[in-house]
Amino acid sequence: MAKQTDIQISICGSAGDGTIAVGDIFKRAMARAGYRVIAFDHYPAEIRGFGKCISRTRISNNQVYSMKSYSDVLVSLNDLHAIPHVGEVRDYGAIIYDSAPMSAVAEGAHISGHLMPGHLPYALPIRELSELATGANRSRNIVALGFIAGLYQLPQQAFHQAIAAKFEAKAPAVADTALAAFDSGFKSGSSTYKFDDVQVGRPRARKNGGEVRMMTGNGAIAHGCLEAGIETFFGYPITPATGIMERLAVEMPRRGGRLVQTEDEIAAISATIGAGYAGARAATATSGPGLALMAEMLGLGVMAEVPAVVFVSQRGGPSTGMPTKTEQSDLNLAVWGGHGDAGRIVLAPTNVEGCRRCAARAFEMAEKFQVPVIVLIDLYLSNRYETVFLQGEDNFLPKNWQRVGSSAPGDNYRRYELTADGLSPRCVPGEAGGIHTATGLEHDEYGRPNDNPDVHSLMSEKRHEKLRDAMKYRGINFTKRFGDKGKIDVGLLAWGSTFGEALEAVLLAREEGIRCAAMKVVMISPLPSRPILRFCNDCQQVLVPELNYTGQFANLVSGELGRPVVRVNHATGAPMDINYLLTAIRNAAKKKLRSKTTTSNPTKA
Amino acid sequence: MPTSTHHVVLGNGIAGNHAADVIRKRDPNSRITIISAGALLFYNRYDLPNVFRGRHQWVDYLVHPPEYYESQNITLRRKTRVVELEPQAQTLSLAHRETLHYDKLLIATGGHAYIPARLLDDVGLMHSFHNFRVAMQVQSAVRKNGTVIMLGGDVMGLDLARTIIATGHRVIVALDNRTFWPHEIAQSERARYLQALESMGLDVRDHGKVDHIEAGNSKGPARQVFFEDGSEIRGDVVMPFFGLVPTVDFLATSGIDMERGILVNPQLQTARDNIWAAGDVCQIWSATSNAYRFYYGYRNVKMMGEVAAYNMTGEQSPFESTVDEALEVTSKGLLHSPFWEYDQRG
């Protein structure tokens, strides 16, 4: 019987130890070997210094949906940083550390004194091996990587290829040194008796062909933009969204696109709306603070009915907050932010593949519904790596966006014509007969400023009613239910990056005999009320887990549906903890339906 | 704020763990640290022959589950090697360059297999049996119905031999003057004891001293042992069982009195303040013998741990030996030793 692989390896070190770099090699090697990979790196906000870095990678030969609560293996490249994370390793998991540190350590400062009794220690002279193999101690990280590969009999060749790829832009000696360090660690690992019960089976052969890529959420968004034929991008750097712009800055010029780094976020959204008005596929990317600055211009996009795509990656807030920590606390701003009744489409993908698909579909939807579309992710999804299987069957390129509605330019052209579905004929500047006014002022069907009460009422209705059809747009599952069918004890309604943890918790709860299911909600605005209500009606209790303090999505759902939900909030700057959710599910399964909205804190249960 | 006494126990065997257990009972607020060179929690080494009976999970050999250490508030530092003891400063230097302070120290590092100097060049061709890892290596190296060559044949080896034979393998014992160690069999009795070994199913050979060991060819047994008398034995593994030597390398500069082992008084205290020793590592003053002597066997070792623990927590109890050292030939002509009747949970 084939071994089941589902292991999570954490590598912890200080900035400068090469922690993230070696984690990157590990995940790419594993993806190259055919495993499914999810990975998430933790790094300090400070650019320089000796802050803590952790690279966590989960590999499996089956589909998995999130990081695990507990790691199977922890590698310490810096004991002071790693010691607080010892408790994250499960019983009979492994802890690998340096038995020959460079300098004397204070009493209690070595990780060997902090292992739990259930852990299996591997004391490896990492520094010495690095010095022996390369003449320097700089390759400690690669030695440790080699040890992991040797101990767990991972395919050496896949690592060699990943290392070569990692350093291909540098002098050949750099890759040679890294390979020597890796082989030294590999040899040591291969000859070490494995006491832990970490099992690594062969990767499962994929049924369908297609290309396998390791992507972050940011990378997938950039990929989706390119697949959709993005023509212009305007952006101002901000963590954790910058990666989108960095990727597009490399790729867009090669494809005839244009990317401009603007002076601030206001300029970025202004230019994006301008380009959208001119008919280009245009986007910008930012985080919560940037979105706050963009709020006014988003209102212009709504009022003038201009397509634009805004990618928003949330981080800990408010204000500058925690730039390198994750949070889902900009939902209110994304859905409601701005002045006036400025309805817009908000999509929240739940995984990396979803980022790609939502990014590409966002352009279509912005054009179809003539409105800014916000794609809302968070740092956890922005920076999370996953294996993505590109099938090559999707076509996100522009299709018939120019002609929507009943009248054509030149025929008494009314850019804001009131139609049954609220969608008006759109033309771009320069098109013959398409002269119209686009303004932030309320306007009539021609675009001429008009504050007549009836006009404002009709136009408000038009701007909102047209979005109803957005819920029927094909190409994205705006909601999807997983787990038990029919009536259930507990249902989890989850959005964004948290859905992966929610589904993993549901799968564990089902193993315990709890009847439960999870529904992912990808379309946040307008909210697909019907399927959500159907789901809620099947549930004795509905839990809404999210990474914020107030339960912004829970407020949205209970306000829209008039139905009580249980909030499961987690506002620590870290991703949702599966065990935290599992505890909440167990608690909910024991209780009867509550009569009013309450707040759940599983740790106090 | 008053600080609790830090009891440090070197060694993760019977003596050390039993001592920690007793210390915890007698001093609930103290800090206890056990230092072990191995990777595993305290497990029953006497049970290791059962790897030949299919018990291949180290977890099955654990004396205590992981939760025990947490419930007893005992810190176990594994894969940790002590390189130096400084009694004056009451510190231990660890190989990973950490200095650990102790208030009271128990040295229970046990012993390791004695290898005669003439065989040191061939160490790489021999298998020991002192921990789970090497026990598993021996088990996997011995083919079905294969042959184990035991050099010497001390009581630990003879115990293992009983299991190996019972599981369908052959054991050849190459006799040596340390056969039956730690027991010294009178010359007049030796033939009867050797006859008992043969009755137990062992193939007893007396070829004199080993000359050297070679790896076998790929088709035959993996090892060949050549004797000075020109004879040769072939087997899957060669295992040295010449008795134990105390593990005291790290004490070279400590100033602790040593002969072959650590010299302690009947209360198991060394000549240095706040340092005790227990188990196979120590030689205890015997007024009867007017000499320092070793005491072997799990009952003795466990008792030493207990006595040391009492004395580390304020008592002045002397160690009294048990009957473990008897070795006798039964009425059925078989060899028997209380040494083999181990049950650490008892």
Residue B230: count of CB within 10 angstroms of its CB: 9
> CA triplet B325, B326, B332: central angle to 5 degrees?
145
- Residue A96: pLDDT over 60: yes
- H helices present in B88-220, as ranges: 132-141, 155-166, 187-199
Shortest CA distance from A104: residue in chain B:
B97
User: Hey, which residues does A521 pair with through a beta bridge?
Assistant: A479, A495
> CA triplet A118, A121, A124: central angle to 5 degrees?
170
> CA triplet B34, B182, B171: central angle to 5 degrees?
100
CA separation for the pair A226, A498 (Å, rounded):
26
pLDDT at A430: 84
- Residue A26: pLDDT over 80: yes
Give contacts of A115 with chain B, Cβ < 8 Å: 77-78
Mean pLDDT of A293-299: 97
Pairing of strands B223-227, B210-215: antiparallel
Residue A534: count of CB within 10 angstroms of its CB: 12
**DSSP collapsed to 3 states, A188-231:** HHHCCCCCCCCCCCCCCCCCCCCEEEEEEHHHHHHHHHHHCCCC
Shortest CA distance from B70: residue in chain A:
A117
User: Hey, which residues does A348 pair with through a beta bridge?
Assistant: none
Choose the closest CB to A117 out of B41, B96, B99.
Answer: B41
Residues from B contacting A (CB-CB < 8 Å) are: 39-41, 58-59, 66-70, 75-80, 94-101, 133, 136
- Cβ contact A142:A18 at 8 Å: yes
Beta-carbon separation of A105 and B66 below 8 A: no
> CA triplet A162, A164, A166: central angle to 5 degrees?
65
* Window from A29-43, A401-415, A502-516, A551-565 with minimum mean pLDDT: A401-415
- A120 and chain B: CB distance < 8 Å anywhere? yes
Beta-carbon separation of A113 and B77 below 8 A: yes
- Cβ contact A467:A528 at 8 Å: no
pLDDT at A396: 81
Beta-carbon separation of A112 and B68 below 8 A: no
Averaged confidence pLDDT in chain A = 92
| Helix-helix angle A172-190:A126-134, to 10 degrees | 130
For residue B191, give both structure tokens: 């033939």
- Residue A593: pLDDT over 60: no
pLDDT at A432: 83
pLDDT above 90 covers what percent of chain A? Answer: 81
Mean pLDDT of B249-275: 95
Task: Please report which confidence band the pLDDT of residue B342 belongs to, taking 50, 70 and 90 as the band edges.
Answer: low
Give the A:B interface size as CB pairs under 8 Å.
Answer: 63
- Cβ contact B213:B226 at 8 Å: yes
- Cβ contact A310:A284 at 8 Å: yes
- Residue A97: pLDDT over 50: yes
- A193 and chain B: CB distance < 8 Å anywhere? yes
For residue A26, give both structure tokens: 């590990």
ipTM given for this complex: 0.90
Mean pLDDT of A75-92: 95
Task: Please report which confidence band the pLDDT of residue A603 belongs to, taking 50, 70 and 90 as the band edges.
Answer: very low
Task: Please report which confidence band the pLDDT of residue A394 belongs to, taking 50, 70 and 90 as the band edges.
Answer: low
For residue B136, give both structure tokens: 């598993």
Distances from the Cα of A554 to the Cαs of A24, A329, A548, A599, in angstroms?
A: 36, 12, 10, 10
pLDDT at B343: 53
- Residue B2: pLDDT over 50: no
pLDDT above 70 covers what percent of chain B? Answer: 97
Averaged confidence pLDDT in chain B = 92
Please name which of A181, A407, A150, A382 lies closest in space to residue A288, comparing C-alpha atoms: A382
- Residue A599: pLDDT over 90: no
Residue A433: count of CB within 10 angstroms of its CB: 12
Residue with token string 């019907």: A530
- DSSP helix/strand/coil, A450: coil
Beta-carbon separation of A195 and B77 below 8 A: no
- A31 and chain B: CB distance < 8 Å anywhere? no
Segment A502-511, tens digit of pLDDT? 999 999 999 9
Q: Which residues contact A373 (CB under 8 A, 6 or more apart)?
A: A307, A308, A309, A310, A344, A345, A346, A347, A362, A363, A365, A366
Residue with token string 């912890």: A12
* Window from A381-385, A593-597, B132-136 with minimum mean pLDDT: A593-597
Shortest Cα distance, chain A CAs vs residue B69, angstroms: 7
Shortest CA distance from A90: residue in chain B:
B66
CA separation for the pair B160, B246 (Å, rounded):
21
Segment A231-280, tens digit of pLDDT? 999 999 999 999 999 999 999 999 999 999 999 999 999 999 999 999 99
Mean pLDDT of A164-188: 96
Residues 86-115 of chain A with CB under 8 A from chain B are 91-92, 98-101, 103-107, 109-110, 112-113, 115
Please name which of A112, A109, A107 lies closest in space to residue A96, comparing C-alpha atoms: A112
Segment A253-264, tens digit of pLDDT? 999 999 999 999
pLDDT above 90 covers what percent of chain B? Answer: 82
Beta-carbon separation of A117 and B58 below 8 A: no
Longest C-alpha distance within chain B, in Å? 72
Segment A352-392, tens digit of pLDDT? 999 999 999 999 999 999 999 999 999 999 999 999 988 76
